[in-house]
Amino acid sequence: MTANIFFQGESYSLQDGETVLECLLRNGKDVSYSCKNGVCQSCLMHSTQGEPTKESQLRLKDSLKAQNFFLACQCRPNQDMGIETLNVEKEFTKGIIYDKEMLCHNVVAIHIKPLADIEARPGQYINLMVEGVVRSYSIANLSNKDGVITLHIRKIANGIVSSWAHDKAKTGDSVLLRGGMGDCFYLGTNNENSFPILLAGTGTGLAPLEAIVLDALDHGHKGKIHIIHGGLKPSDLYHMEKLQSLADSYENLSYTPCVLNKENSVIDIYEGSLDAIVNSAVSTADKINLRAYFCGAPEMVNLLKKNTFIAGVSSKHIFSDPFLQKHT
Ligand SMILES: Cc1cc2nc3c(=O)[nH]c(=O)nc-3n(C[C@H](O)[C@H](O)[C@H](O)COP(=O)(O)OP(=O)(O)OC[C@H]3O[C@@H](n4cnc5c(N)ncnc54)[C@H](O)[C@@H]3O)c2cc1C
Ligand code: FES
């Protein structure tokens, strides 16, 4: 049976195996999306008639499931559905840019003060709406304490939101936020936690990892914490001094910056591939108790997850946020 979707007063027939998002895009509808992979939640919609499929609600919070929200890129309905886009005023929170600073040649930090509480843990990601476009960014600070959310945004050539962040955004501008989402956050509850933590990522993958380290230290985490940040060349790394000075202050924290090519730099950086360093760190770790966090470039995140699992770490203890880009 062909299912139909009813959207903005029109009816559209779904083709075989087609998602709600694909059907709307095929019919020229200007709806929000990015990863098409069920991760970023930019395509979140609301069902006004008919149950969303289980797959389209898998990664949503219970409160959203109960209100019939669903991810359009994961929804292949087998019955008619009435759907609507998000009520931006209701679902997004207004925030004001509080400060902005360059962290390295291609990464800018944007500090945003939300005007209402955002329920998010350091390391989770939020959805940022700018000029009608929604993209995901990870929280890089102790946002729940600071009352400010810090994002690290890498410049992407012709990227809509990253270009806005680098070239247009200024103190006092308002933005819209929604979140937090994802499993990348510190799981310890008290200062007795002694499990080892390994965190690794490339580029702005550092954002959630740094927030998780800060949160673990803030909780008085007793186990070893090792953070590994990779780039192609020395100028791609940022927060080196900050992380090294943190590692100097906490006996249980170590920090390894690494690049594929040192380019004659005299700075103390490891030269080699991130996955080799991570493999070596995992091989000597207490694999039964290790909690591993991997964020950033999707290919690297997937490789690190696979290697760590093969090395003997339970998939339940591996947390990751691949920074999936817009899928056209
Ligand atoms: C869970 C999650 C967390 C994320 N956290 C962060 C974060 O903390 N910091 C951060 O900087 N980004 C993060 N991202 C990526 C971010 O959401 C955007 O995809 C990115 O900023 C590009 O958006 P844009 O609007 O500038 O580019 P778009 O307008 O989406 O893309 C423009 C063009 O560039 C291509 N493109 C997009 N990204 C890349 C890329 N990485 N490499 C090559 N080509 C690309 C697109 O395919 C498109 O053709 C995260 C993504 C996810 C899913
Ligand atoms: S979750 Fe649907 S586009 Fe990313």
Which residue minimizes the CA distance to atom 39 of ligand 1?
325
- pLDDT class of 88 with cuts at 50, 70, 90: very high
Judged by its nearest atom, the ligand closest to the C-alpha of residue 300 is 1
Q: Residue 41 CA: which ligand 2 atom is closest?
A: 1
Q: Residue 43 CA: which ligand 2 atom is closest?
A: 2
Are 49 and 82 in contact by the 8 Å Cβ rule? The answer is: yes
Q: Is 15 helix (H, G, I), strand (E, B) or coil?
A: coil
Q: Please state whether the predicted TM-score (pTM) of the whole model is above 0.85.
A: yes
Spatial separation of the C-alpha atoms in residues 85 and 7, rounded to whole Å: 9
**Type of residue at 130:** V
Classify 89-181 by CATH class: mainly beta
The domains of the chain are located at: 4-86, 89-181, 197-322
Arithmetic mean of pLDDT, 297-322: 97
Judged by its nearest atom, the ligand closest to the C-alpha of residue 32 is 2
Looking at every residue in the chain, the average pLDDT score rounds to 95
CATH code: domain 4-86 is 3.10.20.30
Spatial separation of the C-alpha atoms in residues 164 and 10, rounded to whole Å: 34
- Sole residue written with tokens 């029109």: 10
Spatial separation of the C-alpha atoms in residues 130 and 165, rounded to whole Å: 9
Q: Given phi > 0 = left and psi -120 to 50 = alpha, else beta, which region is 8? A: left
- pLDDT class of 190 with cuts at 50, 70, 90: low
Are 73 and 38 in contact by the 8 Å Cβ rule? The answer is: yes
Spatial separation of the C-alpha atoms in residues 312 and 128, rounded to whole Å: 37
CATH code: domain 197-322 is 3.40.50.80
Q: Is 45 helix (H, G, I), strand (E, B) or coil?
A: strand
pLDDT value at 32 more than 80: yes
Least confident of 9-18, 215-224, 263-272: 263-272
pLDDT value at 162 more than 80: yes
